[in-house]
Amino acid sequence: MVEMFPLNSADAAYTKISGMLSTLGDPFTRIISPKDYQSFRIGSDGNLQGVGLFINIEPRTGHLVVLSCVEGSPAARAGIHEGDELVEINGERLDGVDGEAAAQKLRGRAGTTVTVKVHSGIDSRSNSLVREVKLPREYIKFSPISSAIIPHKTPEGRLTKTGYVKLAAFSQTAAPDMENAIHELENQGVDSYILDLRNNPGGLVKAGLDVAQIWLDGDETLVNTVDREGNMLPINMVNGHALTHDPLVVIVNEGSASASEILAGALHDNGRAILVGHKTFGKGKIQSVTELHDGSALFVTVAKYLSPALHDIDQVGITPDVQCTTEMLNPQKDSSSILKTKSSVSSLEADSCILVAEHELDIQESEGAAS
């Protein structure tokens, strides 16, 4: 016997379906409303309409925290900072809401507004600092790539240049922007590279694979997919040609997720890069997206990723080769807020994870010279 549930609205239907999907125990299998799906589609090409916030789940607390604000964006103008906790969006509590779902609620057409409640820590009197802010949505000009040259002196006293590249998200422009950054740094005579993926929550997986191919040669395996029946399919490059063969260190942390982990795994397992930092987030699931007749969309997990060396990423993460003790674990001092312009080199030089990365580059250079 089929039990019928009278539903008075589309929202009631979405709520009922969400409840049924939740019994699967997979937070990434979900239904989203037409409005949220439209927001999801906005911005994947790099032309974002929203408030200029990058957010993600803080693994230790489960809270949604601000990773960074796009400079000059509505969020930045309102005084929202890295490390602030997002409590509500338009009056809806965010308990149990993942980062992508919350981001969808923040996006929307330019000219509309969204109200957020933000927790910014505790004041000198031990009072919790929670405030409500009404933010206009705007077109956000955003490149996921920032770069700089870090001057470095080797243990032998030789002066070198390290090309630093910060990749904040995987939009459609990530790979071409990465190519442009590398060409510019190569023209300035850098000797090695640091790729910073800290607090990069992911984005378009294809963009992550495209970025990996910028650093790799040949027909290397970039990632393996495993479907629900256990069938494994490798995704390989075809006659790849890296833009540079200079030594590379990749920095990751707990906020590095999804496409960030795929990229880090591809570079590490193919022997292209040393990983420095902290264990990554551990999101290695693949969703199929089906748009329904009313404009809503059903996201269903259909497979998972394994790294080229067959390491399971999902709920496990990637453990770096070298840990770094760092104050950068405090989101208030996150690397995404360090590099506002190419002149912010002194802040980079004071970052202990970058110091560790420089040390690893020195080791690579000395081993190369010895051979």
Q: How many helices (H) and strands (E) does the chain have?
A: 10, 19
Cβ-based burial of 160 (10 A; exposed 0-12, middle 13-18, buried ≥19) = middle
Closest to 261 measured CA to CA, from 287, 229, 285? 285
Q: Which token pair is 100?
A: 């992508």
Instruction: Identify the residue whose tokens are 């040949």.
Output: 218
Residue 11 belongs to what H/E stretch? helix 10-22
How would you label 81-103 residue by residue, b for 16+ Cβ within 10 Å and e otherwise?
bbbbbbbbbeeeebeebbbbbbb
Q: Does the active-site annotation cover 258?
A: yes
Which of 166, 283, 285, 304 is catalytic? The answer is 283
Place of tokens 């408030």: 51
Catalytic one of 68, 256, 258, 335: 258
Helix, strand or coil, per DSSP, at residue 305: strand
Gyration radius of the chain over CA positions: 21
CA 106 to chain CA mean position, Å: 17
H/E stretch holding 181 reads helix 174-187
Residues annotated as catalytic (active site), given as ranges? 258, 283
